Structure 1
């Protein structure tokens, strides 16, 4: 659907993957035991792009000569990203995929920039940012400000997010008073609140039921994710309005301290596997965007395109305020300079 823009320097600038847990030995150990790695994401569908990415990571790493085994967990270590972040920090998971919002809660506030509504205008723009200098800067900040608890080894996409709910929206006025399942703190929450909606917290695994039983009026996500969960078939998920408010970023993270304890050969192999996983995951997302949009339509969903001019205008002061608050004006300027 979109052409990947890969920059080799990015993966060189990003530190690579980490760690086994328990009594696993590194390759250089005398008993020759393999290093075991638990890799986890929060999605439960086997067709999800996250699963595609981590399975590619497993394949490439296990085909290397680094004597590493990978165990992929699709939602079985937690369907909440906060759980996965905590498990990574404690060593109960070794590789995770998480949104920028949860990283900002750990003290790396700059990463919240990547979650700003309407920060990116296209996949090409997004890739030029995360695969360039800004992406490298974010990786360094995550490592430094987390005291080496986390290393970023790749930027994944989670598609283009749109509104879906119990009624279509044509303008911002249509959002007034609607509860929407989204983040309930930070810039994302601020945006939807200022748009007139009511941000509401619902666990991803409980969202189908919440939409079906009128617990929440609407939600927002990308086609591959909410269609795979059949949200479009619920009472409050039928109407999809293409707001395209977020070309989403997901962070592939490892535990920095565990990574540092690995052999050079293991580090190199893990970095190569991470790079392969990024490419595979993005390709899956881009291919599934149109596939799952059509599936939703075929199964009764109603899709409408809208003029997003007013929505974008609302986002600009929120972007500017966050940049000033966290001292990241130059980063935002860099991002905007890469617009076509």
Structure 2
């Protein structure tokens, strides 16, 4: 009896020591994660909270994450700068804003009408092309940025003061979008006037008529009530961009972490990516219905003229950025 008790106690002690060793194997680490969306219902927030939860669960609390929803800046360029300087550790940014760091090749993922559907998009970003772009980001930034994976921001559509029935309806319209690069070239080529407005100021710009319209995915512009503004009532489903967002970590900081910490962060990133993408798809349906219920108007349009207008813009930009081979790979995956 005494011998059996001794063996049982010894076994329990081994388990406790073993578990303690696993916990102690992960050094304590605090990460600051940020995105530019101020809505707490944003898919970005859902994804970041899942990243936080996964990091803390997988590390038994050794790795903690502070999530900032627009509180470190509503400008993506500001978030990129904070990441570079170490004021943030993980951020979500678009290809357009990332290209301002001098990494022009990533404009590829911003090409209008690049993707046919979500299946096509997933094959690209989760495959060879996504890996090649991630390597370019790391090398060109001199390890300032490391891609942890790709989030979605839904399918972008036009919304504005009037519906679109054909391309000619865009002539002279001031559209809030990027004002440089391939996105601006596309909108300019079809008659619109690309206009720069910070995301946090767009509601007021639509309400006051500073811009005639904008373009984004349902979860994002409906959560901000843009469809209730003077110049945001009409949505035309142009479907011009299956959007890609980069989940970035400071590369130098990542390299300084232990192998255990790196593994946990990468696993948590994958969990957050899956959760964020699912949330985007769910919210696209949900917020389109909210828009309709609240008086917004939606119409479809023949996209083929837009697609044809985008093709030469894609070809020209691919040559300019040296990504002709990657563009062809994407087209071949359709």
Measure, in 1, the Cα distance between the counterparts of 2:104 and 2:222: 31
Structure 2 CA distance, aligned partners of 1:28 and 1:272?
A: 17
Q: Return the alpha-carbon distance in structure 1 between the equivalents of residues 25 and 277 of structure 2.
A: 34
Q: Which residue of 1 aligns with 2:181?
A: 186
Q: What TM-score, normalized to structure 1?
A: 0.90
Q: 1:238 aligns with which of 233, 241, 255?
A: 233
1:90 aligns with 2:116: no
Of 24, 37, 57, the residue aligned with 1:43 is 37
Which of 48, 56, 60 in structure 2 is aligned with 1:62? 56
- Where does 1:1-340 land on structure 2 (aligned, <5 Å)? 34-65=28-59, 67-339=62-334
Structure showing the higher helix proportion among its residues: 2
Mapped partners of 1:217, 1:244: distance in 2: 19
What do you get for the CA RMSD once the two structures are aligned?
Answer: 1.1
Paired with 2:327 and 2:68, the residues of 1 have a C-alpha distance of 35
Q: Distance in 1 between matches of 2:98 and 2:67?
A: 22
Asked whether the 8 Å contact 2:77–2:98 carries over to 1, the reply is no
- Whether the aligned pair in 2 keeps the contact of 1:28 and 1:263 (CA below 8 Å) is no
Query: Structure 1: which 4+ aligned runs deviate by more than 6 Å?
Result: none
Paired with 1:68 and 1:173, the residues of 2 have a C-alpha distance of: 54
Equivalent in the alignment of 2:13: none
Q: Is the 8 A contact 2:129 2:329 kept in 1?
A: yes
3-state SS of the aligned residue for 1:38?
strand
**SS state at 1:63 partner:** helix
The CA deviation string for residues 3-58 of structure 1, in whole angstroms up to 9 with x for no partner, is xxxxxxxxxxxxxxxxxxxxxxxx879xx6x2110000000111100000000000
Decide which structure has the larger Cα Rg and report it. 2
Between the aligned partners of 2:215 and 2:129, the Cα distance in structure 1 is 26
Which residue in 2 is equivalent to 1:10? none
Deviations 1:242-263 (A, max 9, x none): 0000000000000000000000
- CA deviations on 1:151-190 (whole Å, 9 max, x unpaired) are 0001000000000000001111000010000000000000
Runs of 5+ in structure 2 lacking a partner? Answer: 1-23
User: How far 1:109 sits from its partner (Å)?
Assistant: 1.1
For structure 1, list consecutive stretches of 5 or more residues without a partner in the other structure.
1-26
Separation (CA, whole Å) in 1 of partners of 2:325 and 2:206: 40
- How many pairs does the alignment contain? 310
Rounded Cα–Cα distance in structure 2 between residues aligned with 1:124 and 1:294: 23
- Deviation readout 1:75-134 (Å, 9 max, x if unpaired): 000000000000000000000000011111112111100000000010000000000000
SS of corresponding position for 2:58? coil
* Residue 327 of structure 1, CA deviation: 1.8
Residue 23 of structure 1 corresponds to which residue in structure 2? none
Deviation (angstroms), 1:65: 2.4
Aligned mates of 1:54, 1:152 — CA distance in 2: 15
Highest relative contact order (Cα 8 Å, sep 6+), 1 or 2?
1
